[in-house]
Structure 1
Amino acid sequence: MFVGVSVPRLDLPDKVAGHPRFIHDLRLPNMLHGRILRPPSPAARLKTLTPLPPDIHVVRDGSFLGVLAETEPEADQALTRLRKSATWTESNTLPDEHDLHTYLRAGPHETINVHTPTGEKPQGTQHTATYSRPFIAHASIAPSCAAARWNPDGTLEIWSHTQGVHPLRKALAQILGHDAIEVRHAEGAGCYGHNAADDAALDAALLAREAQGRPVLVRWSREDELTWSPFGSAMSADITAAVNEAGLIQSWQYDVWSQGHTSRPGYADGTPGLLAGTHLEAPWTYPPATDPPMGSGLGMARNAIPLYEIPHLQITGHRLLKTPIRSSALRSLGAFMNVFAIESFMDELAEQADQDPLAYRLAHLTDPRAQEVLRRATTTANWGRPGLGLGFARYKNTGAYCAAVAELEADHDIRVTHLTIAVDVGQIINPDGVRNQIEGGATQATSWTLKERVRFNHQKITSTTWETYPILPFTETPEITVELVEHPGTPSVGAGEAAQGPVAAAIANALTATLGIRLRDLPLTRDAVINAIA
């Protein structure tokens, strides 16, 4: 009886009023507070530790360091003193931030044949372009947090905002050598895939082991969150297409290079994957991030196959196997970059053919639902006005159809003023819920496209604050119009990741339509525009 009806969310009143709801608000009887001293860089190892006064409760296991205290301020103060007492050995292991194309393509690689063409390759006029995105952080508004308690009967209780309680439990059991573990889910303040929630759970368990049965709440710092959480991998892609005299695509070759997109607990045939495990006296060594299989939508090659009708398609992925920067699942995995690249290139091909970008896409589509979302988005946005950009995809090529039209200003800086998005998720269960997901995804995609980039030197991550890792502020959030294209009786599919790629492409194409320049490397910043013009 509620299918197709917007149902009010039960969680919003507490969140709007600021009532305790998140794991960070958890207060257990007789609870201690914990903090972790992370190494200063990924390859650092603890060299010396000057003894601290006995009133500071230090927990150490190899290069894993933490403190316990009665209150949060006392824990922060103890952490400051602990940091001053530790010295580390460090080495340069990170790539050149300004040449990620070379880093990603240097290898060694696992080559994945995503789509192999059949028949002879058609002839035509060739066009080629290269696109990229940097490493991207989860950048949740609240940092990761967890609580743990070792009980007198030997059981371990964990409170975590993990996305997988069972894989986390198994990973904890592997590292701790202890099976009597219960993981309880608690709500976190933002999670877009595999962030540091699981890592914080192991931190809490290690500190609580020294707390004599008292529960321990561990909260990460903003710096920890922006430097030690798994990132969405940087990516680089080449596209070569051959077109006939009418401008229609006859062949398409797509190669994408990337680190893997999943290192969740249990990846790579059962690897625990928890951060603190690599810092213990007997450290764990983890393999590079892997990718989900074809049946789960792939990782770096997610949405690498264009939905357009192209006679000759060759799609190849190249997963980097030497990865000093930690990567894992971030909202839409490789689809964000792949759709950005494909849809930017479609606009470039349309320009070469002297055709309207909408008409050019429709000429390569036979799927009526794909055509419908394109027409709905462009009609609503009054397509044909100058300065508009278009992006389209079907998530995983099996999920939601989404078309986005972007409108922006580009005077002193780039600001997206309006997004018009049409989405087809099949049978709509909760219309308001679908709009919320699309609006949230579009806002985050705008931030990724215009602002976000993990910064680092050869030794460590340097984007450690909101100043050095800026995200889209409320003052720059675009107005968003969402059109729901309804198909009652068809299977319902997810809406949460449908908008990421189309929005990025729409913004890039709107920038070209506005300024007449083409940027192929994300993010699309003011400096990048100035360099392109120069």
Structure 2
Amino acid sequence: MSNDQRHTTASGDDAPGDAGRRRFLVGGSLMVSFAIVPGAAALAQTTTEAGTFNASAPKLPGSLKTTPLLDAWIKIEPDGSVSACTGKAELGTGVRTALLQLAAEELDLSPDAIDLITADTGATPNEGYTAGSHTMADSGTAILNAAAQVRALLVASAASQLGVDASILTTRDGAIVAADGRRVTYGEAVRHANLHRNAQPDAPKKAPARYAVIGRTLPRVDIPGKVTGGTSYVQDLRLPGMLHARVVRPPAYGATLASVDTARVEALPGVVEVVRHGSYLAVAADDEWRAIVAMRELMLAAQWQAGPPLPDPATIHDVLMSLPAQEIAVADRHASTAAPATTLRARYSKPYLTHGSIGPSCAVAHLDNGMMTVWTHTQGVYPLRAGLAELLSMPRDKVRCVHIEGSGCYGHNGADDVAADAALIARELPGRPVRVQLMREQEHLWEPFGPAMTVDASASLDADGTIVDWRYELWSNTHNNRIENAGRLLPAQLLEHPFTPAPPTPIPMPEGGGDRNSIPLYRTPNLHVQHHFLPDMPIRVSAMRSLGAHMNVFAIESFIDELAGAAHADPVAFRIKHLDDPRALDVIRTTARQFDWQPRAARVVKTGTRPRGTGFAFAQYKNLMAYLAIAMEVTVMRDTGEVRIERVVAAVDCGQIVNPDGVRNQIEGGILQTSSWTLFEETRFDKERITSADWSTYPIMRFSSVPKRVDVMLIDRPGLPFLGVGEAAQGPAAAALANAICDATGVRVRELPLLAAKSKNALKA
């Protein structure tokens, strides 16, 4: 594989007043269709390595609050080349295209004239983790505002050079143009402009009516390589002289290595090194297949001492609810209301979920002249750098983490662990790049799973069918075991002197973790929401797409349907009756209209072997990001319990839309992924170990189960803030599906997955 190498260091003599800009140097970049080579000092940051942001400029928009320097985001070289930088990573959401559009809009350039550098501790701002649908709201806002201010500085520089007033100059195609045709290129203008300065609050930007790039569907820049077999993922990365390595994981949680005879493995063809450190085992070879063969022999040679047992999976929710809890009162308000006429109570639950990345996690590490560079699909290059530096006992400025997209994942899968594997093995083989890819069973068995959760809900209606009281309790482990220290990395826990993981802590609201989206947006005069945060984790867990919002919206929106039934009200009308937010009402009414929702005051008993039903759900992600309403129609096959999704209609309001097709991609993808979670997915284990080791034991949605039709309606809000859309569909899609099944069959399934054996039998009845 050829690698296009490009260096983006400053060049040319410093012009007067330009020395400050020249102090901001960016290292070289190896291009694998994106920039990635080791080389320069990392930028000074105003955030902690764990991703906790300390705003140094709180009045600035987006991530300018934490990194206010303009040239941290937009770089113009004397030759006219333009780069935009983001601390966020492309995870398959299409944000590289959208961020390019933002920079191009304010710089009056074509997006393909800009090089976007993403998530590199040697070249980009520290924006913590790419998570929580924050990329557009934080990084996009920073790039948009920085680009506008950089353009203004370039125009001012050109005005001085041309001896004209800046107000009469225009910008296009990388040049500033006067009315008489004289022009100054951006490269010429930047020689007399200091971009190494802090952004200013409330600086002018283009009016949305003038947008030429924002709001247009542009082809995603990451797609061509993916559909043609080109270099797209870290799994594709090949470096000169690279070795291949494989690791041997323990057979179960807590197992320790009793003995291993490595002589036979060391004698195998192509084996370069066997690494043993406590219970950590790995082997490196000159060829990938030879590494796999050696790994299998090493597995056979290893003898393990069993660890403690796991809980009984049949009673796991009872076990979780019995664990010591940190009590968090999420919401508590009281008001005088009419006397309750009806009270409903319900319990909902979800199992552990596996990320199930299509491509097992992979990383490449290279220790060269005392500098450790790791190419990784982590969602947080700066936190990972801190964890690796601690693991390796190296200074942080001697560790560089460069993001390259991985083949599948939203959340905390094995990406950070395998980066630690690669770094540990590369430390033993200085001068040689080392590539490590997990095997399928290692990915499935050892990743941090999405936590199991239990919810108890109760609510009361008055005689008019209005909600007067709402009580909601949830039990959940942490949804964030991302890398706060070396001990959060699995390989660090296997060493002879293991590192201790940082203790789990709740994520404060309004973002929330397990309690994300636990407060309903509906009008509820009496409201109590309690989060029983469980620090003890019988199963290794961490972040999965939308965190607790998937479960909480599923429970709330299922319960709203149950309340609507008790009130003899149409589910859509019942929601509208209890909402005040006009944007929430817009997405609900748009969805109902496009779906041709037929109002119903009571459930009609359906007969036949293939009854159809419709379901509805709504949420605003985190109660502060994108609004989404969704309607589904399903057919239930009574003879088999199979569920077919006939059609889906959704409406989304995510503020100003940058790339319409990109927004649709995210909603469509979220609907499909959540339908898979909701119908099929469940991490399985017994009292000894995780047992869902492959696709046969962890089934996911097949093409035969994909909805026959999905329509996504976009509500654009020009000029309003970007509201993250990547996780907006997770909760509403789950609830709409459950509500549709109930409408079709009369069976209310409250335990996920909906097609588990017990529930499936109920649907057959």
Q: Pick the TM interval, shorter chain.
A: over 0.9
1:83-232, aligned counterparts within 5 Å? 83-119=299-335, 123-124=339-340, 125-151=342-368, 153-179=369-395, 180-232=398-450
TM-score, reference length from structure 1:
0.96
1:241 to 456, 459, 465: 459
1:432-471, aligned counterparts within 5 Å? 432-471=661-700
- In the TM superposition, residue 178 of structure 1 has moved relative to its aligned partner by 0.8
Q: Does 1:487 align with 2:487?
A: no
> Please, which moves more after superposition, 163-172 or 478-487?
478-487
Q: Deviations over 1:46-102 (max 9, x none)?
A: 111123233243100100000111111101100110000001111343222222320
Q: Does 1:515 align with 2:745?
A: yes
Q: Deviations over 1:8-40 (max 9, x none)?
A: 111111111111221111111111000010000
User: Match for residue 326 of structure 1?
Assistant: 540
Partners of 2:234 and 2:361 lie apart in 1 by 9
- The one-letter amino acid paired with 1:299 is G
On the 8 A contact 1:302/1:335 being kept in 2, the answer is yes
User: Match for residue 398 of structure 1?
Assistant: 624
- In the TM superposition, residue 323 of structure 1 has moved relative to its aligned partner by 0.6
On the 8 A contact 2:416/2:489 being kept in 1, the answer is yes
- In the TM superposition, residue 287 of structure 1 has moved relative to its aligned partner by 4.4
User: Match for residue 16 of structure 1?
Assistant: 227
Q: Does 1:36 align with 2:254?
A: no
Q: Deviations over 1:365-404 (max 9, x none)?
A: 1111111111111111111186110011000001111011
Partners of 1:246 and 1:110 lie apart in 2 by 38
Identical positions, percent: 47
The 3 A distance-change label for structure 1 pair 293 and 131 is same
Partners of 2:345 and 2:486 lie apart in 1 by 39
- The one-letter amino acid paired with 1:25 is D
Q: Does 1:407 align with 2:633?
A: yes
1:285 to 500, 504, 511: 500
- The one-letter amino acid paired with 1:409 is T
- The one-letter amino acid paired with 2:439 is S
- The one-letter amino acid paired with 1:360 is F
The 3 A distance-change label for structure 1 pair 120 and 88 is farther
- The one-letter amino acid paired with 1:106 is S
- The one-letter amino acid paired with 1:155 is M
On the 8 A contact 2:486/2:492 being kept in 1, the answer is no
User: Match for residue 69 of structure 1?
Assistant: 285
Partners of 2:316 and 2:502 lie apart in 1 by 21
RMSD (CA atoms): 1.5
1:27 to 221, 238, 242: 238
Partners of 1:131 and 1:146 lie apart in 2 by 38
- The one-letter amino acid paired with 1:390 is F
Which structure has the bigger radius of gyration?
2
Partners of 1:118 and 1:58 lie apart in 2 by 64
- The one-letter amino acid paired with 1:424 is D
> Please, which moves more after superposition, 98-107 or 166-175?
98-107
User: Match for residue 384 of structure 1?
Assistant: 598
On the 8 A contact 1:339/1:505 being kept in 2, the answer is yes
Q: Deviations over 1:140-195 (max 9, x none)?
A: 110100011111x2111111111111110000011111111111111211220111
The 3 A distance-change label for structure 1 pair 501 and 356 is same
- In the TM superposition, residue 241 of structure 1 has moved relative to its aligned partner by 0.5
- In the TM superposition, residue 120 of structure 1 has moved relative to its aligned partner by 5.8
On the 8 A contact 1:255/1:317 being kept in 2, the answer is yes
- The one-letter amino acid paired with 1:289 is P
On the 8 A contact 2:335/2:525 being kept in 1, the answer is no
User: Match for residue 575 of structure 2?
Assistant: 361
On the 8 A contact 1:519/1:528 being kept in 2, the answer is no
TM-score, reference length from structure 2:
0.68
On the 8 A contact 1:389/1:511 being kept in 2, the answer is yes
The 3 A distance-change label for structure 1 pair 137 and 289 is farther
- The one-letter amino acid paired with 1:88 is W
SS of residue in 2 equivalent to 1:512: helix
Q: Deviations over 1:241-282 (max 9, x none)?
A: 11101121101000000010001111xxx5651110100000
The 3 A distance-change label for structure 1 pair 135 and 288 is farther
Q: Which has the bigger relative contact order, CA under 8 A and spacing at least 6?
A: 1
User: Match for residue 499 of structure 1?
Assistant: 729
Partners of 2:225 and 2:494 lie apart in 1 by 38
Partners of 2:645 and 2:324 lie apart in 1 by 39
On the 8 A contact 2:680/2:756 being kept in 1, the answer is no
Partners of 1:476 and 1:502 lie apart in 2 by 18
Partners of 1:343 and 1:410 lie apart in 2 by 21
Partners of 1:155 and 1:426 lie apart in 2 by 43
> Please, which moves more after superposition, 101-110 or 86-95?
86-95
Partners of 2:263 and 2:503 lie apart in 1 by 37
- The one-letter amino acid paired with 2:749 is L
> Please, which moves more after superposition, 467-476 or 381-390?
381-390
Partners of 2:327 and 2:502 lie apart in 1 by 17
SS of residue in 2 equivalent to 1:414: strand
- In the TM superposition, residue 475 of structure 1 has moved relative to its aligned partner by 2.4
2:585 to 365, 368, 371: 371
- In the TM superposition, residue 126 of structure 1 has moved relative to its aligned partner by 1.5
On the 8 A contact 1:93/1:324 being kept in 2, the answer is no
- The one-letter amino acid paired with 1:358 is V
SS of residue in 2 equivalent to 1:323: coil
The runs of at least 4 consecutive aligned structure 1 residues that moved more than 6 Å come to none
Partners of 1:165 and 1:8 lie apart in 2 by 27
Partners of 1:288 and 1:226 lie apart in 2 by 24
Partners of 2:315 and 2:486 lie apart in 1 by 30
* Aligned pairs, number: 529
SS of residue in 2 equivalent to 1:388: strand
- The one-letter amino acid paired with 1:31 is M
SS of residue in 2 equivalent to 1:319: strand
On the 8 A contact 1:52/1:85 being kept in 2, the answer is no
> Please, which moves more after superposition, 130-139 or 182-191?
182-191
- In the TM superposition, residue 119 of structure 1 has moved relative to its aligned partner by 4.4
